[in-house]
Structures are given as structure tokens and as C-alpha cells.
Amino acid sequence: MQILSMRHKQGKNGAAMKRKNEKKRVLMLASVASMIDQFNMPNICLLLEMGYEVHTICNFKEGNTCDDRQIVRLQKKLMQMRVRMHPWDCPRSVYDAGKCYMAYLQLCRLLEQERFLWIHCHSPAGSVLARMAAHKRRIPIVYTAHGFHFYQGAPLRNWLLYYPVEKALSYWTDVLITVNQEDYRLARNRLQARKVFRIPGVGIDIEKFVRCSRQSDRAAFCRKYHIPQNAVLLLSVGELSKRKNHCLAIRAIAMLQRTDVYYVICGQGPLEQKLIQLALKCSVADKIRLVGFEQDTAMFYRNADIFVFPSLQEGMPAALMEAMAAGLPCIVSDIRGNRELIPASGATVFHPKKPDELKRALERMLADRQKWKQYQTYNRHKICAYSRLVVQKKMAVIYEQMEEVCIQSMTGKGGSNEKNR
């Protein structure tokens, strides 16, 4: 019995060593390709620099927040980087049970065909399916939560639906990455992931947006979008969805009753026609510009006067961070994520369901232009801690720790729960 036991142990360790010596292969997973494009290209570059063979799996066809041309550009870029792409029929919503089940089977087949050292997953539906499939195959997993659906002030329904699922799946999560302080505290206190980290958002190229604020092509911009050159230009950047709450901003602008204020929204999404109809109903259609998805958002930050961010829910909003780096005064909804970036005041923060509060904030901001320079200085100083360089240094540490997790997994030595910064 002792000899048999020793042979079994040697065989197990031998298999672990064989797997350890194989090509380091990881899978970057998200429900939709736009999540890879907008939030994960720096992570993919980092993994390639660290010597990994990187694969991606996502839905390239449906549910994306950018246009088809951008998806084609993404695919070409990944191909040039020698990143292997796996198409995935994953829905954005966890409520689409039939599609989720088919996507789960697709993922299981891929994990049987390819030997991944570990998986880095994103987005609600994708992360649920990834952790279920990875647990089945005993593959270590990193999950970045870009903003839990359960949070301070969230509807009770969110706590009843999303929290139990996240709680259960946290037992199968080796590393949980959060992007704001509120989620970090919640993950440490209520969830059971082995390791919990906080990174300051996805990281932005600060120099790109600082540079853009030093240039001006206002006359050409205004001609292109049929806006008077002396107008006050408000800007929002984000998907045209209920969560981004552009309807409230349109109502507030109608209440403002100023002929010199124009509102530009960069983004595409299912609510485009609803926003157009609302602008017509509020008699401000001539003041609203829906420009669709724009890859070069720097041009819009460069020509805007004030950034308006009325979201109902955010994790750590990249668009707001870009606006701060560009030096724009920002008026934002009083929600998680925004609160970490913008100090509360009557001129900068409003309740996300009260258009009259946004109207008053706009009035105060427009009445005191001398303060705009103060907002610019504060925003540029604050955003330095959220740069891509800062985030990538933290991600490198996390990825290095994942190698230790993989070794423990291969040798059968599971680690205890740890709560890290």
C-alpha cells in the first residue's frame, strides 16, 4: 500500500511538472468584443510581454457598444499581435438562459481542446459561465468585476438576484479584482474569493488626453456638427442605454431654457430613437447631437466646455477619467465610481433621478466660469493615480501571483483565503 501510494504521488507530481513546463497559455474572456477592445488590450499586451500565449473568446457579432468597423479593426489588431481568437455566442444578459446554456457548452468544448494555465474573465454573463466551466476543469481563474450590480443604493431586486450568484461563485474564484473602493470593501467582507485586489479602474492614457486639451479646432468642429461657435458645448460619452441615463440630461437641458447650450452625445445603443423622440417632445431637438460611436473621442473632449455624466450605475467610469485628464469641468451623478473621482458640491454632483438638480448644477457651473480653472487643476492632479502605467504595474503583480496559484493548483496545494490590496 505504501509503494502504491508513493507511485501515485510521483505520478501526480510528474503530471504537474509536465504541465508546468508546457507553453504558458491563458484565455482572456468577455461576453462581447467591445469589452476586449475598450478595457483589455493593455492586459493582453502585458501578458504577451510576460511570455504568455494569449487567446481571446468573446462575441464578435452581437451586443457590442462599438460599430462593426471597430470590431474588424480589433480582429486585425489581435491577428497582428498573434493572439488567437475564438468566436463565442455569449449573450450580454444572464437572463437569456437558453443562449447562456449554449455558450456554456461552447466554452466547455474549448477548455477541453486547449490547455489553459488560467483564465481572466470579465462581464456579468461571461464571468458566470467562465467560473462554472473553469471549476469543472479545475482551471484557476481571475475575475475582474467592473462594478457589481449590487451596491449601496441599488434596487432590492439586484441584491436578491445578483448577490447570491456572486456569493456562490466567489468560492470558485482564485483572484477577484475590483475597480473601486466600495466594491473592494464589499468583496473583502462578504465574498469568498481566495485573493481580492483593487485596481484604480482600467487605466487611461493620460498624456493622450492632456495633449488633446492643448489643441483646438473649434471652428471646424462646430461647422461639422452645425453648432454656433460661441455656444456652450456639453458632452457625454457612453452607450445609448438606460444605465447611461442620457434621458435625464436631455430633460435638464430643456428645463435650462438657454439658447446657447448644446449637448453632444458620443455613443451608440438601443435607445437612440427614444432619445430623439424625447428631444423632440422637450423642444430641444435642435440643441442635441447624437454623433454615434466615435473611435477618436479626444476630438470631442478637445472642443467641449463641460462634461456631463448622468449614469445610474458605474464601476470606475473610463469616460469620466478621460474628461478629467482633458481638463474639463465635470458634472456627474452621485453614484459609486463617480464619488471617488469628483468631490461633492452643488456645482458638480446631482441625484441621478432628479433632472432639476442637474439643471441647478449646470446653472451654477455656467454662472461661475472663473472656477473652471480650479476644476481643471483638481481633475488633472486627481487622475494621475488612475493612469494606465499605475494600473499595469498592479496588474503585473496580480499576474505574477497567478503563476503561484497555478503551481498550487497543479500540485494539489490549495491556498487559504487572502485579502490583498
Task: Point out the least confidently predicted range of 67-81, 213-227, 295-309.
Answer: 213-227
Taking the CA atoms of residue 83, residue 127, residue 140 and residue 168 in that order, the dihedral angle to the nearest 10 degrees is 180
The pLDDT of 222-240, averaged and rounded, is 95
pTM: 0.88
For residue 386, name the pLDDT band (cuts at 50, 70, 90): very high
* Among 325, 350, 355, residue whose Cα is nearest residue 338: 350
pLDDT at 18 over 70: no
The pLDDT of 31-44, averaged and rounded, is 94
Q: Phi-psi region for residue 286, left (φ > 0), alpha (ψ -120 to 50) or beta?
A: alpha
Residue 404 confidence (pLDDT): 82
Residue 347 confidence (pLDDT): 67
The pLDDT of 117-123, averaged and rounded, is 95
pLDDT at 218 over 90: no
Task: Point out the least confidently predicted range of 196-200, 227-231, 321-325, 340-344.
Answer: 340-344
pLDDT at 161 over 70: yes
Residue 7 confidence (pLDDT): 44
pLDDT at 214 over 70: no
Considering only CA atoms, give the Rg of the chain.
Answer: 23
DSSP 8-state symbol, 141: E
How far is Cα 198 from Cα 150, in angstroms, rounded to an integer?
17
Residue 67 confidence (pLDDT): 82
For the chain, the helix, strand and coil percentages under 3-state DSSP, each to the nearest 5: 50, 15, 30
- How does strand 306-309 pair with strand 175-178? unpaired
pLDDT at 224 over 90: yes
Domains located in the chain, CATH noted: 12-203+387-411 (3.40.50.2000), 206-386 (3.40.50.2000)
pLDDT at 10 over 70: no
